[in-house]
Structures are given as structure tokens and as C-alpha cells.
Structure 1
Amino acid sequence: MNTRTIPHPPRVRRRRRVVVTLIAIAAAAILAFAVQQSLSAAFADAAHTIPSPAPTPVPTGGSAGSVVAPTEADGVILDDDKPTVFEVDRVAVGNLDSALLAALQRAASDAEADGVTIRVNSGWRSPALQEWMLQDAIVQYGSEEEARRWVATPETSEHVTGDAVDLGPWSALDWLAQRGSRYGLCQIYANESWHYELRPDAVDDGCPEMLADPTADPRTKR
């Protein structure tokens, strides 16, 4: 006996098409929602990401312009040997202002409890190191005007007086961005997420508004 396939009535075929269409729409909606959630999470993470500390030029011999390269005694910190704020035998740390150093150590102790280690990329600097860095920046950026947005002169630098410190890594900067004011530690320049100074009033009042860069700081014009 011959068996013939009996086609579904038109109504059944229409129902199947409707069901398939609904499934496709639902799948597209789920995919769109997943993408939206992923993008939202990515933007949220980006909003809390702190830029990586700019590398501090490390004199390794020779000179920047006509300035002879300083040594560790001038506050040089090698890239592969970043100290913590407790290594006061390193002049870059030990020569920091005592009140700033105490605040840094309190913050670092609490950060360690959260699994975060605060390290010093650059701390106290001798006038010779500061001048070397300025000359290096002039070579790098092509003009003294642009270099001064990143490196102050020896006469105006808060690093030379021991009142400023450049910190890292990212995790430490993120931690400090959220909690630094509790210790009076504040980011001073918007273009330098790594540069911190002591502002005791920040404990109660929060950190002051950041300056765009060092050229906007009245102290660099004295």
C-alpha cells in the first residue's frame, strides 16, 4: 500500500511559523539583555579603573642634557626594587616628611589587611635628581612648557622637600582613591593619579578639588 504524506492544514503551518518567530524574538531579547549587562559591567569597571602610574625616569648612567645622572643617595628608585612605605632605610622613603610618612604607614597597614600593598615609585628627591628628571622630561616632551606639566623645578618640587610621594601599583591607587582622605592622603593633580600629599583637613572635610596639573599649582610659581 502506498503511503502518502498528508500536508498539514494551513492553520497548523501558520501556528508553527508563529511559534518559531516568537522563539527567535525571545532569543534575540535574551542576547541583547546579556550584551547590555556585559557592557554595563565593563563601563562600571572602567569608571573605577585608575590609570597606571607613569614610569619615573631612572638614571642609569650618562646624563639628561648636561645633568649628570644621580644615584640612590639622591632618591633614585629602580624599577625592579620599589620599596614599601615601611622601608625607611631607603632615603626616598626615610627622608619624607614625618607626618606624611606616618599617614602613609597607617594607610599601608590597613591596605595590607585588604590584601593590597602600597609601594613607592618615587618619594624624596634631591635637587640633583629633580633637575635630572626635569631635563629628561624636556627631552621626552620636546619643550620645557610641556615638561613642567609633569615635573616641577628643584626649587618648587614638593618631592625635594619630602612633602610628596608617587605611589603604585594600580590596586594601591584604587584603594587610596576610595579611602585616602581618611588618612589625610590626597591626590593633588588630575593628570597624576600616583602623586599624593598630606592634607590633614581631608580627614574631616574630604580632599580638596584637584588641580589640572602642576602648572596650575601656585606653589610652582613661587
Structure 2
Amino acid sequence: MANLNPDLLEALRRAATDAANDKITFYVNSGWRSPAYQNQLLREAVSTYGSEKEAARWVATAATSFHVKGEAVDIGPPDAAAWLSEHGAAYGLCQIYRNETWHYELRPEAIDHGCPSMYADPTQDPRMRK
């Protein structure tokens, strides 16, 4: 959990505690990533998906990754991500991309207003066009 935004970490802790009451266990499968590791993931995605354009649907560049900024986490197992999808707004935790059911970011305004509409995938997110 090193290098994560402290507010994100606190929201995750609160959500995980409440999820445990529902017999759901959270795992942060991926939190903060170094730029070098993010670039490695992107190279692997290009190899897997056959092009940078297709890889961008799944893996951001180090310059745009919210994992590198410490502002995103990937949650597992699937039942934990499903629990967070249903209850996350109460903690300000929102799924950002429809194609990444495991990827969550902190949106404090969601506590009062609900999570924003999801992007289909990262290529639709204007923050990725830096």
C-alpha cells in the first residue's frame, strides 16, 4: 500500500472493514506502480493485443497512469470488486472503466452524488490524452 494517496487508502480500509461484515475479503491486486513497471505492463499489453492502440484499452502509459500517481487500485477477487461496485460510492470509491471491473479510483464527491458515468475503456477517458 506504499505510495498510495492516503485518502484512497483510508477509503479502502473503511470499505474493506464493512465488506468483511458481509463475509467479503478485499485484496489490492495492484496499487501504486513505478513508471518502469507501468511501461513494462504496457509493452506486455502491446505484445498481447498486437498494437499500441488495442493495448491502450487496458494499460495506460506511465505518464497517464493513475496507478503511477498512487490514485488507483485494482481490487480482487471478483466478489470483492462486485461488492465495491454496489457499495463503493458510499466510500467515494468508483469503478472508472466498464471494461475493468477491478479498477477503482477515489471520487469523494460520489459519497453525496454517486459515482460518475463510467468510460467504456481508458481510451475514452480524456485524462489519458496528456
The alignment's TM-score, normalised by the length of structure 1, stands at: 0.58
Deviation at 1:98, TM superposition (A): 0.5
Identity in percent: 61
Out of 84, 102, 109, the position equivalent to 1:176 is: 84
Mark the structure with the bigger radius of gyration: 1
> Aligned partners of 1:177, 1:159: CA distance in 2, in Å?
19
2:116 equivalent in structure 1 = 208
2:20 equivalent in structure 1 = 112
Q: Aligned AA for 2:101?
A: S
Matched residues, number: 130
> Aligned partners of 1:170, 1:130: CA distance in 2, in Å?
23
Per-residue CA deviations over 1:136-194 (Å, capped at 9, x if unaligned) read: 00000000000011000000000000000000101101111110000000000010000
> Aligned partners of 1:96, 1:123: CA distance in 2, in Å?
7
Deviation at 1:113, TM superposition (A): 1.3
SS at match of 1:100: helix
Q: RMSD across aligned C-alpha pairs, in angstroms?
A: 0.6
2:51 equivalent in structure 1 = 143
Runs of 4 or more, structure 1, over 3 Å off, are: none
Q: Which segments of 5 or more consecutive residues in structure 1 lack a partner in the other structure?
A: 1-92
SS at match of 1:145: helix
> Aligned partners of 1:171, 1:181: CA distance in 2, in Å?
17
The alignment's TM-score, normalised by the length of structure 2, stands at: 0.98
> Aligned partners of 1:149, 1:94: CA distance in 2, in Å?
26
1:121 equivalent in structure 2 = 29
1:188 equivalent in structure 2 = 96
